[in-house]
Chains A and B, each alone.
Chain A
Amino acid sequence: MSTTNNIAQARKLVEQLRIEAGIERIKVKTTVFCHVCVSKAAADLMSYCEQHARSDPLLVGVPTSENPFKDKKPCIIL
């Protein structure tokens, strides 16, 4: 009984690894998962950060007058 279970589990694992290795059984030809080089992936991530840096409030800071979270204290007339 348990050997049948083990085989079922092993078959499931093979199926999953096939998906992750990019081998699709449905398709006619085997396609290998096309990887992007880490250097290109890193460059793209860096480029995204750079493009959006100027509009990232936590990087550039929020002017006091426009800060929605700042407590608005009542003005004191001296």
Chain B
Amino acid sequence: MAAEKAEMDALKKECDGLRAQIEAARKAVNDNTMSGAAGGVASVGRVQLKLRKTLKGHLAKIYAMHWSADSRQMVSASQDGKLLVWDCFTGNKLVAVPLKSAWVMSVAFAPSGNLVASGGLDNICTVYNIKAASPKTLRELDAHTGYLSCCRFLSDSEIITASGDTTCCLWDLETGKQKIMFTNHIGDCMSLALSPDMNTFISGACDSLAKLWDVRDGACKQTFSGHTSDINAIAFFPSGNAVITGSDDCSCKMYDLRSDQEVIGYQDTSLNAGVTSLALSSSGRLIFAGYDDFNCHIWDSLKGEKVGVLSGHDNRVSCTGVPDDGMGVCTGSWDSFLKLWN
């Protein structure tokens, strides 16, 4: 008993010491803020994007969307039990994938364009071949013990999933088995994003933390705190050196990876709605953040100012995405519509 208590005390002391060390290292390099440094940067002015297309076809709330790497096709998921693959240049539906479980929360396009994946309250990530004559289920990745909140393909043979069971997982699609489990969050994982070089990924969770992981060795390299509620959305800045998060605490934050700390926050007293989704323009200068207030607000990532809004949905904006070529923004909503803006 006494020995165990002694060990607990020693471990607690070491934890406190390490936490202090991490904080001290952050403070030592905290010689400015992003908005302070960007004081001299020219303002982007008012960003006014036009609604170009409204994609109608889903019969219930849209929960997720993901652009194909070709910047033309896009897949959306709705709790009407369908995935729809769209040609966004014409507005036509190319493929409809009926889901075994209608409670879908996430969808992803493989970089090759051959596969899509989805999952949700069934705890399973199902991978479909959409190039077959009719969509064929390729794999059912069934090992999470909680809902599937997000999935992203590394290639046609590997996918990373985030789950309400607080873990993320790297799967081998040839075998259908888990390769690596990423365990460290203490709340449901809600969102994940791959780094541009695909060697790392970040996750946001209900423990209000964002974590950076090494894809190959499973280690959690960095943890970012500051949010006061669930992190629902997360994205890499295009250079790979920073991470943007969106939270139920109604704010977004940018964390710089090399200085290991928050460098700017995006909040407005008039915005009292949680952030559901976010995407960056190709230069990283604009952040498109979907909110529960039915709008997608546009932020200047460097100056921290709100510079525009995409209004038009009749319900919560649940998903937002910018294609690789940066030509537009897609917003998806609980009103069952997807809208394309530029």
Chain A: CB-nearest residue to B19 = A17
Q: Most chain-B CB neighbours within 10 Å: which of A3, A38, A55, A67?
A: A38
For chain A, the bracket of interface size reads: 35 or more
Minimum C-beta distance from A31 to chain B (A):
12
Interface residues of B (CB under 8 A from A): 1, 4-5, 7-8, 11-12, 14-15, 18-19, 21-22, 25-26, 28-34, 36-38, 41, 44, 47, 49, 52-53, 72, 88-89, 91, 184, 219-223, 237-239, 241-242, 256, 258-261, 263, 281-286, 301-302, 322, 325-329, 340, 342
Nearest CB to that of B25 among chain A residues?
Answer: A35
Counting chain A CB atoms within 10 Å of each CB, which of B1, B31, B36, B258 scores highest?
B258
State A3–B94 Cα separation when bound (angstroms). Answer: 58
Q: Is the CB of A10 within 8 A of B259?
A: no
- Tell whether, in the assembled complex, residue B239 and residue A44 are in contact, meaning their CB atoms are under 8 Å apart: yes
- A23-37 contact mask (Cβ, 8 Å, vs B): 1 or 0: 100000000110111
User: From residue 1 to 41 of chain A, which have CB atoms closer than 8 A to chain B?
Assistant: 3-4, 6-7, 10-11, 13-14, 16-23, 32-33, 35-41
Question: Contact between B220 and A45 (Cβ–Cβ < 8 Å)?
Answer: no
Task: Known A-B contacts: A21-B21, A69-B53. Give 15 more (CB < 8 A).
Answer: A17-B18, A20-B220, A20-B221, A37-B32, A37-B259, A42-B33, A45-B239, A48-B238, A48-B241, A56-B282, A56-B326, A57-B327, A62-B327, A68-B89, A69-B327
The 8 A-B residue pairs with the shortest CB-CB distance, nearest first, are A52-B283, A42-B37, A56-B283, A36-B258, A17-B18, A69-B52, A10-B11, A39-B32
